[in-house]
Amino acid sequence: MEKEGWKKLAIVFIALFVIETLCFIGLTMYGLDEIDKESQCSISCDNNHECISFGYDSWDSTCTLYGSECNSFFILETTKIN
């Protein structure tokens, strides 16, 4: 039994390593995608001369551009980023 025990343990550790690596790659790709969407939102604000600030909501993938006039803030536009 001792000679086969390490083989089973090795298979379990290899499977766990593969699962961990796939999770790491998946979460990294998701994070990079979210950073790209926020950058698109920032560029939209830069291209709009009335925009003074922006907000990116990662839950809804929406970009909200804000403007200001007479010390009051208002929403210029809200768009969904794909």
Q: How many residues does the chain have?
A: 82
Confidence at 73, pLDDT banded by 50, 70, 90:
confident
The per-residue pLDDT for 35 is 95
Range of the domain at 49: 2-80
Rounded distance between C-alpha atoms, residue 38 and residue 54, angstroms: 9
Instruction: Identify the residue whose tokens are 């000679």.
Output: 3
Quote the number of domains for the chain.
1
CB atoms within 10 A of CB 46: 10
Confidence at 23, pLDDT banded by 50, 70, 90:
very high
